[in-house]
């Protein structure tokens, strides 16, 4: 050994990875010493740190863990989590920002029509080709981008995207549909579908909504089909022949008659949509619908909004000039003014209202809105998009952003783990210190208590505690409860370790000296001995942190930890318990599992690295 | 030895009663009134004062007015209940489940058998793999193959069991479709004999695999550490110096001694699996075992059942600790504990 060490300084040193070099220089400015100088100069703590950092695996794990910790403690300040937030239209979106990535081929022939559905859109160019883009996968079998052969062959002029199905109208007046047909949204009424005489009706407009669809003919007649149990699909004959346009919300429809009046054509006006406000008996130019509201644009450029507004759809802003076109998304409306400005109002959760500069500076021909997306068609035939592009890690089964839940859940899990370990360490050190220092009866009593606690089956016991106490307290209190339960049930390990160390330390000269000086016993234990024991506890505490995180997540996974909707890594993974999620929506569990797994592995590797670093035999002496 | 054993058993009994008293006290924190549950439907049919009188009588009859210790003693079976009959844990009456409307003893049988089969099979498989693997790692310590296995075991013991469960479901049930994702038998099937056994095994294979994988990591490390320790002993050096073949040294001298400390840690590991591991596994795979029964009972607030199962868990882990301590002396005569 000594031969090697003596020879070492003369040999040229191999160049190390910059990270290690950097850390080395930051912590140990001295150059490497030979073994004799080293023993004189380096304190044990320094030696341990040097040993620890000399292992690449330990350093990498430490860096990774610090990165994860930084992510989960810094990101939640920017990615704010709204616990009540959920949206059925955003369920199970796969990761990526591809929702508004329209195919460039669409622009080539000039855009004829675009219609926006839930997280996808469908467009048709002037040559009659249909394109669908975005999150077109509706279920494991249905994909909206699988456009049927007959549609590809036909010359399509208009398209309409529903929530999970698409309608297309060709130049001859034939209606095609594909996508999800579970509510018969694609089954046209027998009247127009029979005998191949569809083109004789002269259908000029098609509308697809959440669960129903409508068609409008040249002579002003309306046909409705779809889920009649959810939507009132009745149509009063008195309006037949006078309909100019239609607007479909998720659950109702209204018509615009050819004399400029907005009417409800249902047999019974019952919903907030079909109760048309006053002042719309004449002079209405166009109507458009969001999910739950309808907006009407009048000749003088004024706008009237009615319906079930929840996110500020009724707060119509001031316009700089006359409004010429309005479009509705899920919770927002967008208006185009004469001077080319684009103004939006309603929900701005996904920046649906913030039209980019390109849309303002260029002359816009038309705008298309829907869901959380907006498309503006410029005069030169280009598209400008704004709104929801997608989610970094997708959304879960309730339509919540997984990335937001991942970082917020990580913060929760790591905080609970850390505090549980602190509680555990404090109890362990105090009881272990007392037991080890005094010995005798005190030691016996404390160790018996420790044995009782450690012989209790951990998870079942934590579950029953959480179930019994947890039902009567708030979520936040329950979080503290979990920390305390974990801390109280897992201290015996550290207690035993401290006690064993105490036995060795209390015979040392410095303790005898302290006693002779008349230092108080509590001061001797916690002021003199414990600091010397801490380094040995470090390994146990590190590993205990991993265990605490693991136990917390297991409890949450079983439903007895932090309750939903507050995210933790454990209860996010318990979402993935059913095989459908595991199979089809892998992003629900993979990312959380990966980050959590890496964090756990890192903690264990750091613990192992520390153990080796603290081991006096490890230095080869 | 027998004195030590006696001492330990007395101690075990005391701890058991302390824990059970604690559990009973916690259980009684739940605000529930069985007498009220019985009397509530009669409230409208009876006059208030008569109803109140009957309610109080019923409380008296059920022994709800006595203090916690008396009720605990009755529940445990130390003293007779109000009717003068002994009917407690000690007499084998574990109470009635509210959900199943049957005595707890009747319910617990099948799940217990399932859990025992699950743990038994996974233990055997784990040991069958882990001991050769640990020895191999120790013999090839610090070589590439050892490092690779070590890295895999770090992954195995760091990841939570349920995450491995989800991962295995994805790999073996979704991607390769070898095993079913959960359940205990093919739905609607009525196999008998060997077919039934094979069907059950097919459904149990994935949970067993997960348990084996999680157990593998920790045990391999234990075996490896013990084996490395043994290989550095003087008698191994002597055996090599005698000119014995390396195979003989390893398989005849070293591994038997290395397994002594390992055999004791097996017990601790099995208790962990039986209490915590089975809870997670059975919930992930929807297996009808004790863990799932306990989870069901807790979520549906079937507290008589919970309490009985908690007692069972406590007993299992207490006996497990005792057996672990005893096995030290049994496998290693150098350890003397009858002081």
**Separation in Å, CA of B110 to nearest CA in chain A:** 20
Of the residues B163, B268, B314, the best mutation for testing chain A's interface (the one with the most A CB atoms within 10 Å of its CB) is: B163
Tell me whether A284 touches chain B (CB under 8 Å): no
Q: Taking CB atoms and an 8 Å cutoff, what residues of chain B touch A550?
A: 160
Nearest-Cα residue of chain A relative to residue B160: A550
Nearest-Cα residue of chain A relative to residue B159: A597
Average pLDDT for A338-351: 84
Q: At residue B204, does pLDDT exceed 70?
A: yes
Which pLDDT does position A427 carry in this prediction? 92
What is the C-alpha separation between A327 and A288, in angstroms, rounded?
A: 6
In total, chain B counts a number of residues equal to: 339
Which pLDDT does position A7 carry in this prediction? 44
Which pLDDT does position A222 carry in this prediction? 86
Which pLDDT does position A8 carry in this prediction? 45
Neighbour-count burial of A272, counting CB atoms closer than 10 A to its CB (0-12 exposed, 13-18 middle, 19+ buried)? middle
Express each pLDDT in A196-218 by its tens digit.
Answer: 677 777 888 888 888 888 888 88
Q: At residue A5, does pLDDT exceed 60?
A: no
Contact flag B318-A601 (C-beta cutoff 8 Å): no
Confidence of residue A67 (pLDDT cuts 50, 70, 90): very high
| Nearby residues of A323 by Cβ (< 8 Å), 6 or more positions away | A297, A301, A303, A335, A336, A337, A338
Q: At residue A9, does pLDDT exceed 60?
A: no
What single-letter DSSP state applies at residue B252?
I
Q: At residue A423, does pLDDT exceed 70?
A: yes
What is the C-alpha separation between A90 and A585, in angstroms, rounded?
A: 13
Q: Say which of A559, A577, A593 has its CB closest to residue B299.
A: A559
In chain B, % of residues over pLDDT 90 = 0
Contact flag A464-B313 (C-beta cutoff 8 Å): no
Average pLDDT for A63-91: 86
Per-chain mean pLDDT for chain A: 83
Q: At residue A118, does pLDDT exceed 90?
A: no
Contact flag B170-A586 (C-beta cutoff 8 Å): yes
Average pLDDT for A62-91: 86
What single-letter DSSP state applies at residue A395?
B
Which pLDDT does position A35 carry in this prediction? 59
In chain A, % of residues over pLDDT 70 = 92
Tell me which residue of A452, A450, A548 sits closest to B314, measured CA to CA: A452
Express each pLDDT in A236-270 by its tens digit.
Answer: 888 888 888 888 888 888 888 888 888 888 777 67
First to last CA, chain A: 8
CA-to-CA dists, residue A397 to A74, A410, A591, B174, angstroms: 26, 19, 15, 19
**Separation in Å, CA of B103 to nearest CA in chain A:** 21
- A80-102 in b/e form (b: 16+ CB < 10 A) is ebeeeeebebbbbbbbeeebbeb
Maximum C-alpha span of chain A: 111
Q: Taking CB atoms and an 8 Å cutoff, what residues of chain A touch B295?
A: 463, 558-559
What is the C-alpha separation between A590 and A596, in angstroms, rounded?
A: 10
Contact flag B275-A458 (C-beta cutoff 8 Å): yes
Tell me whether A85 touches chain B (CB under 8 Å): no
Which pLDDT does position B339 carry in this prediction? 44
Going along chain B from its start, the domains and CATH numbers come out as 108-301 (1.10.3720.10)
CA-to-CA dists, residue B13 to A140, B8, B19, B321, angstroms: 57, 9, 10, 13
What is the C-alpha separation between A166 and A160, in angstroms, rounded?
A: 6
Q: At residue A223, does pLDDT exceed 50?
A: yes
Which pLDDT does position A14 carry in this prediction? 58
Q: At residue B60, does pLDDT exceed 60?
A: yes
Average pLDDT for A87-95: 84
CA-to-CA dists, residue B250 to A361, B138, B217, B257, B332, angstroms: 82, 10, 22, 10, 19
Average pLDDT for A377-399: 85
Instruction: Please give the model's pTM, rounded to 2 decimal places.
Output: 0.83
Which pLDDT does position A16 carry in this prediction? 64
Q: At residue A194, does pLDDT exceed 80?
A: no
**How many Cβ contacts (< 8 angstroms) between chains A and B?**
120
Which pLDDT does position B291 carry in this prediction? 86
Which pLDDT does position A41 carry in this prediction? 60
Of A11 and A85, which is predicted with more confidence? A85
Confidence of residue A31 (pLDDT cuts 50, 70, 90): low
> What are the beta bridge partners of residue A137?
A143
Q: At residue A529, does pLDDT exceed 80?
A: yes
Q: At residue A537, does pLDDT exceed 70?
A: yes
Q: Say which of A457, A458, A553 has its CB closest to residue B160.
A: A553
| Nearby residues of A385 by Cβ (< 8 Å), 6 or more positions away | A100, A102, A373, A374, A375, A376
**Separation in Å, CA of B309 to nearest CA in chain A:** 9
Q: Say which of A464, A574, A596 has its CB closest to residue B26.
A: A464
Express each pLDDT in B210-232 by its tens digit.
Answer: 888 888 888 888 888 888 888 88
Q: Taking CB atoms and an 8 Å cutoff, what residues of chain B touch A449?
A: none
Helix (H, G, I), strand (E, B) or coil at A162: coil
Q: Indicate the helix (H) or strand (E) that contains A364.
A: strand A364-370
Q: Taking CB atoms and an 8 Å cutoff, what residues of chain A touch B166?
A: 573, 576-577, 582, 589, 593
Give the alpha-carbon dihedral of A227, A228, A234, A240, to 10 degrees. 20
What single-letter DSSP state applies at residue A391?
B
Which pLDDT does position B301 carry in this prediction? 76
Tell me which residue of A349, A406, A390, A350 sits closest to A588, measured CA to CA: A406
Q: Indicate the helix (H) or strand (E) that contains A344.
A: strand A342-346
Which pLDDT does position A65 carry in this prediction? 92
Q: At residue A3, does pLDDT exceed 60?
A: no
Tell me which residue of A126, A213, A235 sits closest to A171, measured CA to CA: A126
**Separation in Å, CA of B159 to nearest CA in chain A:** 5
Angle at B166 between CA B160 and CA B169, to 5 degrees: 140
Q: What are phi and psi of A374, to 5 degrees?
A: -135, 140
Express each pLDDT in B104-140 by its tens digit.
Answer: 888 888 888 888 888 888 888 888 888 888 888 888 8
**Separation in Å, CA of A575 to nearest CA in chain B:** 11
Enumerate residues 423 to 452 of chain A having a beta carbon within 8 A of any beta carbon in chain B. Answer: 451-452
Confidence of residue A1 (pLDDT cuts 50, 70, 90): very low
Which pLDDT does position A70 carry in this prediction? 92
Of the listed ranges A9-18, A349-358, B178-187, B326-335, the least confidently predicted one is A9-18
Average pLDDT for A551-568: 86
Q: Taking CB atoms and an 8 Å cutoff, what residues of chain B touch A560?
A: 298
Helix (H, G, I), strand (E, B) or coil at B278: helix
Q: Indicate the helix (H) or strand (E) that contains A294.
A: strand A293-298
DSSP A98-148: -TT---THHHHT-EEEEEEETTEEEEEETT--EEEEES-B-SSS-BTTS--
Of the listed ranges A338-352, B185-199, B308-322, the least confidently predicted one is B185-199
Which pLDDT does position A15 carry in this prediction? 61
Confidence of residue A422 (pLDDT cuts 50, 70, 90): very high
Residue with tokens 């007895």: A560
What is the C-alpha separation between B181 and B169, in angstroms, rounded?
A: 6
Q: At residue B238, does pLDDT exceed 60?
A: yes
Q: Indicate the helix (H) or strand (E) that contains A551.
A: helix A530-558
Encoded tokens for B19: 């824990």
Pairing of strands A120-125, A111-117: antiparallel
Nearest-Cα residue of chain A relative to residue B310: A460
- B169-204 in b/e form (b: 16+ CB < 10 A) is bbebbeeeeebbbbebbeeeeeeeeeeeeebbeebb
Which pLDDT does position A620 carry in this prediction? 47
What is the C-alpha separation between A358 and A322, in angstroms, rounded?
A: 21
Q: At residue B25, does pLDDT exceed 50?
A: yes
| Nearby residues of B303 by Cβ (< 8 Å), 6 or more positions away | B27, B30, B32, B98, B297
Of B241 and A469, which is predicted with more confidence? B241
What is the C-alpha separation between A28 and A553, in angstroms, rounded?
A: 38
């Amino acid at each position: 050994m000594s031969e090697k060490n003596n020879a070492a300084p003369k040999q040229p040193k191999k160049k190390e990875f910059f990270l290690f070099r950097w850390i080395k220089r930051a912590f140990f400015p001295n150059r490497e010493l030979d073994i004799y100088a080293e023993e004189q100069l380096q304190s044990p703590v320094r030696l341990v740190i040097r040993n620890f950092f000399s292992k690449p695996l330990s350093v990498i794990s430490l860096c990774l863990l610090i990165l994860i910790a930084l992510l989960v403690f810094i990101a939640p300040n920017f990615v704010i989590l709204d616990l009540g937030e959920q949206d059925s239209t955003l369920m199970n979106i796969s990761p990526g920002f591809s929702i508004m990535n329209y195919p460039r081929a669409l622009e080539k022939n000039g855009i004829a029509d675009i219609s926006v559905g839930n997280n996808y859109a469908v467009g048709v160019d002037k040559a009659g080709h249909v394109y669908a883009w975005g999150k077109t996968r509706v279920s494991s079998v249905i994909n909206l981008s699988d456009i049927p052969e007959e549609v590809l062959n036909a010359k399509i002029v208009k398209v309409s995207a529903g929530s999970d199905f698409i309608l297309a109208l060709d130049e001859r007046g034939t209606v095609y549909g594909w996508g999800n047909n579970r509510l018969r949204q694609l089954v046209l009424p027998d009247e127009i579908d029979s005998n191949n005489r569809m083109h004789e009706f002269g259908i000029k407009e098609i509308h697809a909504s959440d669960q129903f669809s409508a068609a409008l003919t040249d002579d002003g007649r309306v046909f409705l089909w779809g889920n009649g149990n959810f939507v009132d699909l009745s149509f009063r004959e008195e309006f037949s022949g006078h309909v100019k346009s239609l607007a479909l919300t998720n659950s109702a429809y209204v018509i615009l008659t050819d004399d400029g009046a907005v009417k409800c054509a249902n047999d019974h006006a019952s919903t907030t949509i079909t109760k048309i406000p006053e002042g719309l008996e004449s002079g209405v130019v166009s109507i458009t619908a969001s999910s739950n509201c309808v907006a009407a644009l009048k000749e003088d450029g004024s706008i009237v909004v009615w319906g079930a507004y929840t996110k500020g759809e009724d707060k119509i802003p001031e316009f700089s000039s006359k409004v010429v076109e309005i479009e509705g998304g899920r919770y927002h409306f967008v208006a185009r003014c004469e001077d080319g400005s684009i103004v939006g109002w309603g929900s701005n959760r996904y920046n649906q209202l913030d039209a980019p500069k390109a849309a303002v500076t260029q002359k816009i021909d038309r705008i298309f809105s829907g869901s959380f997306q907006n498309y503006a068609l410029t005069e030169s035939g280009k598209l400008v998009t704004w709104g929801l592009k997608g989610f970094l890690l997708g959304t879960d089964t309730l339509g919540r952003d997984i990335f937001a839940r991942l970082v917020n859940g990580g913060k929760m899990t790591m905080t609970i783990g850390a505090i549980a370990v602190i509680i555990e360490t404090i109890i362990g050190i105090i009881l272990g210190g007392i037991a080890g220092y005094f010995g005798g009866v005190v030691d016996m009593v404390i160790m018996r208590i420790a044995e009782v606690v450690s012989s209790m089956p951990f998870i079942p016991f934590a579950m029953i505690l959480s179930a019994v106490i947890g039902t009567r307290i708030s979520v936040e209190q329950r979080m503290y409860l979990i920390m305390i339960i974990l801390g109280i049930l897992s201290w015996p390990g550290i207690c035993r370790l401290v006690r064993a160390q105490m036995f060795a330390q209390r015979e040392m000269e410095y303790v005898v000296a302290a006693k002779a000086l008349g230092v108080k016993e509590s001061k001797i234990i916690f002021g003199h001995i414990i600091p010397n024991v801490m380094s040995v506890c470090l390994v146990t505490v590190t590993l205990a942190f991993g265990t605490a995180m693991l136990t917390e997540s297991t409890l949450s996974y079983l439903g007895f930890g932090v309750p939903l909707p507050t995210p933790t890594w454990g209860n996010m993974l318990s979402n993935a318990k059913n095989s459908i999620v595991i199979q089809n929506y892998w992003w629900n569990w993979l990312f959380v599992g990966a980050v959590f797994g890496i964090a756990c592995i890192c903690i264990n590797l750091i613990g192992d690295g520390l153990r080796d670093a603290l081991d006096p035999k490890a230095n080869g002496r | 030895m027998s004195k030590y054993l006696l001492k330990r058993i007395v101690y075990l009994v005391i701890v058991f009663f302390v824990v059970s008293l604690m559990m009973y006290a916690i259980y009684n924190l739940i605000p529930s009134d069985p007498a009220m549950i019985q009397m509530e439907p009669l409230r409208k049919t009876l006059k208030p004062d008569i109803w109140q009188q009957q309610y109080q009588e019923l409380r008296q009859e059920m022994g709800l007015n006595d203090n916690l210790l008396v009720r605990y003693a009755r529940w445990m079976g130390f003293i007779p209940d109000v009717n003068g009959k002994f009917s407690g844990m000690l007499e084998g009456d574990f109470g009635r489940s509210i959900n199943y409307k049957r005595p707890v003893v009747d319910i617990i049988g099948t799940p217990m058998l399932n859990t025992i089969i699950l743990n038994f099979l996974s233990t055997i498989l784990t040991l069958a793999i882990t001991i050769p693997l640990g020895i191999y790692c120790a013999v090839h310590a610090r070589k590439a193959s050892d490092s690779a296995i070590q890295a895999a075991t770090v992954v195995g013991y760091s990841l939570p069991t349920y995450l491995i469960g989800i991962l295995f479901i994805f790999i073996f049930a979704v991607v390769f479709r070898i095993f079913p994702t959960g359940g205990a038998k093919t739905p609607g099937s009525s196999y008998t004999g060997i077919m039934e056994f094979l069907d059950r095994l097919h459904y149990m294979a994935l949970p067993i695999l997960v348990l084996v994988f999680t157990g593998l990591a920790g045990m391999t490390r234990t075996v490896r550490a013990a084996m490395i320790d043994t290989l550095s002993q003087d008698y191994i050096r002597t055996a090599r110096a005698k000119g014995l073949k390396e195979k003989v040294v390893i398989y005849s001298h070293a591994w038997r001694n290395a397994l002594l400390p390992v055999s004791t840690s097996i017990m601790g590991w099995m208790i962990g699996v039986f209490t915590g591991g089975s809870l997670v596994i059975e919930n992930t795979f929807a297996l009808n075992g004790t863990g799932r029964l306990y989870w069901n009972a807790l979520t549906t607030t079937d507290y008589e059942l919970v309490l009985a199962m908690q007692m069972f868990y406590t007993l299992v882990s207490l006996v497990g600790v005792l057996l672990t301590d005893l096995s030290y002396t049994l496998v290693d005569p150098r350890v003397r504990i009858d002081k």
